[in-house]
Amino acid sequence: MGMKEQLNMKGQFHKIKLFPLLITTFVIFLFAIPYYINDYTDILSSSYDVNDNESTTTPLTNSPEQIMQNMSCPHYKIALFIFSEMEDLNQRMLMREELFGITDNIIPCMKQDTNVIYYKFFVRKLKKVNGKVLKLFTSEKMEYYHDIVEIDVEHSDDWHQTLLKYAQSLQEKCITFDHLILIDAFTMINLEKIQDKILSSKIENRLISNTRKMVWGSFDSNRTENMAVILGSSAIRPILENSNYKMNYTSLISSLYLYYYNNPNNIIPGDLIFINDPISIIEWPNSISSISCVDCIVAMGHIYQEWEIRNIIKEFNISTTLPCIARYDLKMYSNETVNKLRPNIAVITSSFLYKDNCMLEAAPLSAKNKREYAERHGYAFVARSTEYDQQYYRKRKPVWGKVDAVEKVLAYYEWLIWLDMDAFFANRSFSIEQLLEKCEKRAGGKKEFEKINFIVARPIGDNMINAGVFLIRNSDWARDFLRNGVQSRYDRANTGMREQQAMRDAIQLPNWKPNVLYLNRDDHTINTFPDRYIRGDFIVHYAPELGCPADPVLGLDIENGFLRICESSIIEKFLGTLVFADFESGKFCGLCKTPPSLTSGWVMVSKYNFETAYSMLQYSKR
């Protein structure tokens, strides 16, 4: 055999050896693709609107223990949309309790992660709002952020259409459901009975061929048309595409029903199946004795008295439908019992607005910052206002509500981190677990840290602790400290530094001092002031000595450990306010509590040179 033939055979041999390797590599690549896609999907789904639970959800099967893997496209059996006016706060609270078993937000639904129910309260925006109503509604939005959507509805008969558009937008965002129920805030429904009827496909003595296309309501009069409508998910688009049939003073859905009822020979778009059922969906006749078929009822509207609603729920045996896994475990925290269904760490803050409403606009932004941080790390977010309101009866300043709130919520978590309304997470990638590890080292190691139950800092140059940010561990020590060390100080109910001074005095006493990690003259471990901010600091606390902190809260955006002014228009709002930048270190002091000294690197930024300064600061982050 010649040299040429030998080389050819050798080449063929190598090809034969390489071929299986190439095939194996290709197969591995095919198997790897879904993982890359999932990672990419996770990145895309990490940002979502505050009014939508569009983040990854965990559907619930038969019991909370049977938790399925996270899905990027959650699917629910029922979506329930409830229309209400802004002043209907008490009615919304009643419906949360009776329909969903939500009596408070101590264990919040951070996301609606069962496969059973997805619900929202839709609240009409108003151009002119009573100050007290707006204040209460703003607090409610912070406390129950997961279930409130504000909408523009010009006329009272337009809200069906607005809610249908919202439902369609959810479908486009990959949040899907089998059926949609539209009700107003004064209608009570039996979700279990509705689901049973849908599963049987028999409604109003009719066998429904496809419940996804049904439109089930009571369309006999304008009084009953808006009480309750049950639609299949496939009915939404055809209804919206025929909005030109809407009549004045009549909802779009009723308008379509009446049109095709009066024109039976016309082809119904999307093969919609209209069901007029005045037997199952009725107006409350003011007495149960006036109802001819109690067992037939699935929805009853126009119930305006709370005691009647509660009696009806009891009489009709209406059960609650839990919208989130966390609400399946309402037990208080215990070292012996690990809570598998909900977080053991909570971020807690105030949602109380003072009479001057100075934080009315800024408070929701403050809550959003804390909520997003909690969501990012899997913590609970709890905003409280009722404990502040009750200080009137305790004859103390409202600020004492902080201590009441902590005392109440602490029982359900292992650790709480408290932030005042004017304190923000600046470094949102830094977790509470990382902070606790840092504090463990400061305490002298794991064994010493096991004794620590309270963590608080005293800023440099200040005689007082900063009680606007602290951590507290669920323990007998903490309960004794709060009850006998702090709450007992009625001599500080209305004078001095009030709860802050009570805490400061208590941690110096021998029976509590050994269990406190006192970060003396520390401006960076757990919180800092704006003028002392260094890139990477965990929490920024404004804490102005005088005046309202709303302006700096509105003017600043804190993202990824970097403090910055949002946009030049914000600066224009605060003419004469000093804003400083240090391009060398990337520090940026906006609307500073006290101006830094104009030494190396610091320059003053005005609205005229803001864009240049901001671009330089962005460059300095690299």
Domain residues of the chain, as ranges? 75-315, 334-532, 567-620
Going by pLDDT thresholds of 50, 70 and 90, the confidence category of residue 543 is confident
Cα(593)–Cα(98) distance, integer angstroms = 47
Residue 290, CA distances (Å) to 158, 217, 285 in order:
31, 21, 6
Provide the 3-class DSSP secondary structure of residue 59: coil
pLDDT of 380 higher than 50: yes
Contacts of residue 94, Cβ cutoff 8 Å, sequence gap at least 6: 306, 309
What confidence score (pLDDT) does residue 306 get? 95
- Span 14-39, pLDDT tens digits: 444 555 555 555 545 444 444 433 33
Q: Which long-range contacts (CB under 8 A, 24 or more apart) does 521-525 make?
A: 521/458, 521/459, 521/460, 522/457, 522/458, 522/459, 522/460, 523/457, 523/459, 523/460, 525/435, 525/438, 525/439, 525/442, 525/457
Mean pLDDT of 341-354: 94
Structure tokens at 475: 């323990």
CB 342 within 8 A of CB 326: yes
pLDDT of 164 higher than 80: yes
> 179 has which bridge partners?
78, 232
- Span 295-315, pLDDT tens digits: 999 999 999 999 999 999 999
pLDDT of 166 higher than 90: yes
Give which of 297, 313, 280 is closest to 101, Cα–Cα. 313
What confidence score (pLDDT) does residue 456 get? 97
- Span 505-514, pLDDT tens digits: 999 999 999 9
What confidence score (pLDDT) does residue 437 get? 97
Class of domain 75-315: alpha beta
**The two domains 75-315 and 334-532 share their CATH topology (first three levels equal):** yes
Question: What share of the chain in percent tops pLDDT 90?
Answer: 61
Structure tokens at 120: 């929202």
Give which of 178, 184, 188, 46 is closest to 118, Cα–Cα. 178
Question: Strand ranges (DSSP E) for 6-112?
Answer: 75-84
Supply angle C-alpha 269, 273, 274, rounded to 5: 105
What confidence score (pLDDT) does residue 185 get? 96
Residue 506, CA distances (Å) to 387, 503, 510, 511, 534 in order:
22, 5, 9, 9, 31
| Domain 334-532, CATH number (from 3.30.1280.10, 3.20.20.70, 3.40.50.300, 3.90.550.10) | 3.90.550.10
Going by pLDDT thresholds of 50, 70 and 90, the confidence category of residue 226 is confident
Cα(57)–Cα(54) distance, integer angstroms = 8
Residue 574 neighbours by CB distance under 10 Å: 17
Going by pLDDT thresholds of 50, 70 and 90, the confidence category of residue 584 is very low
Rounded to two decimals, the pTM is 0.79
